[in-house]
Amino acid sequence: MEDALHHFHTFKDIFLVGRAGKKGKAKANALRSELMKKRKVDKETNAGTLTLSKKWRKMNAWRDYINHKIDVSKVLNADFNFPKIHLMSNWVEQLRRHGAFQHYSAERHEPAHKPNLKDGWNTSNHNLNYLPEVITFQHRILSFEIRELTLQVLAQRSEDSAAACTVLPCSPDPTAPLGSN
């Protein structure tokens, strides 16, 4: 596992092009605009001196150059601030210390998030003031769950009292003393 993690961290930079944030993308777009202006100036200065095939080669060279510079800019302005990647770096030590994790997932929030928010959102009117509707929906669901648990407890109590009546004689009148029936 340590070797695999080391191998991953060695080559993870390949993913940095796609990890540029808003600021990185804005810098890359500004660089693209600047390079496109330079390309336009170059095109205008060499307009009458180049043959058609040389113009195509030069245009393709500019395109490749601009794309390369944009990719480099995105890599330089990207980061690997992933909580899950940091979590992976702790796995080896955690496995040594505690043994294998059973049913371990970094996605713990998703099962709690779905019934609490997503189901409430789906039953709401999807307007800007959706929060009271989501809370009301969740309150109804919890109320039904509490009612179901209460009914289960009452059913268990009645079963227990019925079992007690088979052991001890029960009178039809609960206020009557035992043995008076």
3-state secondary structure string, the chain? CHHHHHHHHHHHHHHHHHHECHHHHHHHHHHHHHHHHHHHHHHHHCCCCCCHHHHHHHHHHHHHHHHHHHHHHHHHCECCCCHHHHHHHHHHHHHHHHCCCCCCCCCCHHHHHHHHHHHHHHHCCCCCCCHHHHHHHHHHHHHHHHHHHHHHHHHHHHHHHHHHHHHCCCCCCCCCCCCCC
Whether residue 29 has pLDDT greater than 70: yes
Per-residue pLDDT reduced to its tens digit, 110-162: 666 666 777 777 888 888 788 888 888 888 888 999 999 999 999 988 887 77
AA letter at 61 = A
Q: What are phi and psi of 78, to 5 degrees?
A: -100, 165
* Higher-pLDDT residue of 176, 94: 94
Question: How high is the pLDDT of residue 150?
Answer: 93
pTM of the model: 0.38
* Higher-pLDDT residue of 36, 100: 36
AA letter at 50 = L
Distances (CA, A) of 167 to 111, 178, 180: 46, 13, 16
* Higher-pLDDT residue of 150, 55: 150
Per-residue pLDDT reduced to its tens digit, 78-96: 766 666 677 777 878 888 8
Question: How high is the pLDDT of residue 104?
Answer: 58
Task: Select the highest-mean-pLDDT range: 36-50, 54-68, 161-175.
Answer: 54-68
Whether residue 12 has pLDDT greater than 70: yes
